[in-house]
Amino acid sequence: MEHELVITRRGHRTGLPITVAVHSTARGMAAGGCRLTHYPHWRDAVTDALRLSAAMTGKTTLAGLPLGGGKTVVALPAGHLPDRRALLLDVGDTIAFLGGRYATGPDVGTGPDDMAVIGERTEHVFCRPASAGGSGDSSEHTATGVIAALRAVCRQRFGSPDLAGRRFAILGLGRVGGHVLRLLAAERAHLVAADTEDRGALAARHGATWVSPRDCLAADVDVLIPAALGGLLTAASVPALRCAAIAGPANNQLDVPATADLLHERGILWAPDVVVSAGGLIHATAVELLHETPEQVAARLHGIGDTLATILQTAATTGVTPATVVDQLITQDQDRFAVRH
Ligand code: PHE
């Protein structure tokens, strides 16, 4: 087993199974958001927690944060939803039970107000609203990191970091995707966007062409930006892609690691999501844990672009995929800490 600790506990208020996976605390307390979403079975939520928590270790490592990787996942039942407050208190109890090995934050299906409720049961929670003592919504900062990453990708792939006039397809206009849309529109980029929910009006407001998720994935653009759920890049979807590069905030974009090789073979530059998506976590950690100034925090978010540029450059000069470079960096880092223990 690769993970340090995985627990699934039945919440005593809701009766729902709550899973927390702690992948690694080698760098420090494990951190990772709380995901509330639908799965065919709660065991699928456990599987997802395993993958997502491992990705968080990669994220904290590449961001140079003194944190490990973890994740909370709850499979929401089909049909009748549980009382939300009761569920969040159940989540808070489960995190408290871990005694500081893990701290949570927002993720798919949760936001700052939810963190405030979890915070009634445990202090190990990031991104409560400012009024509740936290750093608030992290999605805007995730988007800032995505923009820094897009500049690095454009410099590597097209020879210029300029976003103006470039063509982007944003797949997912949720909280992070919506901010990315707004920021790219302000840069005068050409935009295509999609979502499974009806967010066409939002797209139109920013001059983006609204298409179906399927057409968005296969759009003829410079960069595809996955900003919804993971697992969209597969042996089945890669042949249909018409983008030159892919960089976005969705976690676990590849269904399996080998898909990175398929993208490479097609000449599509894939920026590893653990680097691109780190802005929210970086902001929350820098503010709440490291108590940094706004200038220091901004420099860290900007640093996502520098980190990615180095990775892409290393991959290009050594002839391997960026995914391989990232895997090597993470493995070396974990080994370094393992020796010290
Ligand atoms: N959802 C965030 C991520 O995947 C997790 C997070 C954000 C955790 C902010 C803590 C603070 O990176």
Quick check: 270 and 263 in contact, CB under 8 A? yes
Tabulate helix, strand, coil % of the chain (nearest 5).
45, 15, 35
Q: Which among 23, 35, 59, 71 is annotated as catalytic?
A: 71
Residue 189, helix vs strand vs coil = coil
The H or E element that residue 33 is part of is none
Closest protein CA for atom 9 of ligand 1:
281
For ligand 1, the distance from its centroid to the CA atom of residue 62, given in whole angstroms, is: 14
Q: How high is the pLDDT of residue 229?
A: 83
Two structure tokens written together for 111: 């936001």
- Counting ligand 1 atoms within 8 A of each CB, the residue from 35, 141, 175, 281 with the most, and so the one to mutate, is 281
Give the β-pairing of 34-38 and 102-103. unpaired
The pTM score is 0.95
- pLDDT tens for the chain, 341 residues: list them: 899 999 999 999 999 999 999 999 999 999 999 999 999 999 999 999 999 999 999 999 999 999 999 999 999 998 889 999 999 999 999 999 999 999 999 999 999 999 999 999 999 999 999 999 999 999 999 999 999 999 999 999 999 999 999 999 999 999 999 999 999 999 999 999 999 999 999 999 999 999 999 999 999 999 999 999 888 999 999 999 999 999 999 999 999 999 999 999 999 999 999 999 999 999 999 999 999 999 999 999 999 999 999 999 999 999 999 999 999 999 999 888 876 55
Give the number of the atom of ligand 1 that is nearest the alpha carbon of residue 71.
5
Q: 71 an active-site residue?
A: yes
Give the β-pairing of 17-24 and 68-76. antiparallel
Domain with CATH 3.40.50.10860 in the chain: 5-53+68-132
How large is the ipTM? 0.94
Check if 55 has its Cβ closer than 6 Å to any atom of ligand 1.
no
Closest protein CA for atom 12 of ligand 1:
281
Residue 230 annotated as part of some ligand binding site: no
Domain 139-278+306-329 in CATH: superfamily?
A: NAD(P)-binding Rossmann-like Domain (3.40.50.720)
Check if 31 has its Cβ closer than 6 Å to any atom of ligand 1.
yes
From 3.30.390.30, 3.50.50.60, 3.40.50.10860, 3.40.630.10, which CATH number describes the 5-53+68-132 domain? 3.40.50.10860
Two structure tokens written together for 293: 């100034």
Domain with CATH 3.40.50.720 in the chain: 139-278+306-329
